Structure 1
């Protein structure tokens, strides 16, 4: 059990943030077997197929993320790979810029890099981190970008809920239902941990709370001196993230968008190619393509290339529109 002791200054500096780079790392853990309960099975099935069809070799990225059951003391992740974000909602590009700017000294003193990767990293950290960043970008486009609107909506919803809890009852109320492995008692946050125990101070830096869809059923803490202490935890509702949610094309939405475009939006919960959308909706491929172009121009659909295919998926704006139509 870790006991994190809060001062008044620590409470005042506690904040929330999201981290696309951490979601990359945590999702790689899932692909390497950290999903024994099958929570992410639908996502895993789609993404394994996309990664297998890619021309990129993701070995240098996957090798840096330890498989479940092989975690040494602490998280077992190289400390430079996914530092806690310094802004509330950084883009992946911003976080990768920070990764590329990692000091060579930090690279050379990191102990959690596997032997097959350590020589290249230490010999030329700048070049190695540049190649790693390019691989992460490629992985992101295949594995996370098509699903990011759905993931982001869940993460932001959790932060909004936590903020209300803080306003209503202070830190005790905020942490009361954060996770079964987290308890708050008299100014001390207690974290269940398999190998690390004892009190930890925050040194007036506060605690950074980072919801993450790929960490359940675990929590991850970063309590070193290099960055602001952070706690990565699963958001509320993560169990429903990949559940099939068929959205009927409501008459109200058909009246605004037209029946064909409303039908297409209803089918786009997961990334789908034009030919498959045409088959499901009864449209011709040419007709579906024209409607998708219009929906994309309106910001309701995003497109992602996967090999020779282009996959379409609903954006956050479309999710909001569908939810509003469904509630009326």
Structure 2
């Protein structure tokens, strides 16, 4: 068990952040485990072949994030100074990590690293993984993470911080100004951390994970609520109304993008030429309703947050 004692100042400095890099490390570990998953199987089935085809399953991330190790190198999840850092901002922080901190994390990892670790090359690999595995799904993932933060903030406003902590996860509890974490692989204490606490929801986290590097506040990444329904096909409640504006075929394409798909796949599903599908997708992309992501020789199209909100009532 780890005990993190709080003063009034620590509580005042507690906040949330949504971190792209926490999703990178947690999702990569899920992929590397190679096991089926009751929630994320649709994502695993779509992403695993792309990652393997790009050779990312045997790259530097695979060395740094072995699924059998409980420890995650801290420099891969730099402290977010803002509530919603971009991937580019977090990668810049990784790229500027001092060499002695990187080596200390590698020593703590305990896994032999066969090749010298060059941070610019690692950042390129992370970007490639992001484009294949996270970016096409980011609108949906981030909407769930934002919803979790909103829910937790309301908990604090309506019932106080103690209720928030006690509801966070079964391995986390609050008592006597102390946050207690059970079954922790790495000890977490106030003496070894900075003030406050950063709470980071993650759709790919299987358990609570912690990060500590003074003088920054400790990070606590936890499984986001609602993840169980993340990959369920969502009913398009407003499809008829949207069709009156966008046209039936473009609305059909939008509904087909419940999961990211290529032009060829969408042409096959809709019985239309790839050229015709491409023309309509370009119009939707220019309007900010879909996004395009390079995946090897193909381009995957995905609904943006705007596209998601158009089709659903939530």
Normalization by structure 2: what TM-score?
A: 0.92
Q: CA deviation at 1:227?
A: 2.9
- Check if 1:174 corresponds to 2:164: yes
**Equivalent in 56, 75, 78 of residue 80 of structure 1:** 75
Query: Contact 1:249–1:266 at 8 Å: present in 2 too?
Result: no
Question: Matched residues in 2 for 1:64 and 1:204: separation?
Answer: 25
Question: How many pairs align?
Answer: 313
SS in 1 for 2:119: helix
> Deviations for 1:164-183, whole angstroms, at most 9, x for unmatched residues?
11111221122232111111
- Check if 1:310 corresponds to 2:292: no
For residue 274 of structure 1, what is the aligned residue in structure 2? Answer: 263
For residue 95 of structure 2, what is the aligned residue in structure 1? Answer: 100
- Check if 1:231 corresponds to 2:220: yes
Question: Matched residues in 1 for 2:238 and 2:277: separation?
Answer: 16
Question: Matched residues in 2 for 1:35 and 1:2: separation?
Answer: 29
Q: CA deviation at 1:81?
A: 2.1
Identify unmatched segments of 5+ residues in structure 2.
none
Question: Matched residues in 2 for 1:192 and 1:115: separation?
Answer: 25
Cα distance, 1:253–1:202 mapped onto 2, change above 3 Å: farther
Normalization by structure 1: what TM-score?
A: 0.88
- Check if 1:260 corresponds to 2:249: yes
**Equivalent in 92, 95, 120 of residue 116 of structure 2:** 120
Give every structure 1 segment of 4 or more consecutive aligned residues whose post-TM-superposition deviation is greater than 6 Å.
Answer: none
Query: Contact 2:193–2:212 at 8 Å: present in 1 too?
Result: no
Query: Contact 2:192–2:214 at 8 Å: present in 1 too?
Result: no
Pairing 1:144-159 to 2, within 5 Å after superposition: 144-159=134-149
Cα distance, 1:291–1:248 mapped onto 2, change above 3 Å: farther
Query: Contact 2:193–2:215 at 8 Å: present in 1 too?
Result: no
Q: What is the RMSD of the two structures over their aligned residues, measured on CA atoms?
A: 2.2
- Check if 1:212 corresponds to 2:202: yes
SS in 1 for 2:272: coil
Between 1:149-158 and 1:57-66, the stretch displaced more is 57-66
Cα distance, 1:91–1:204 mapped onto 2, change above 3 Å: closer
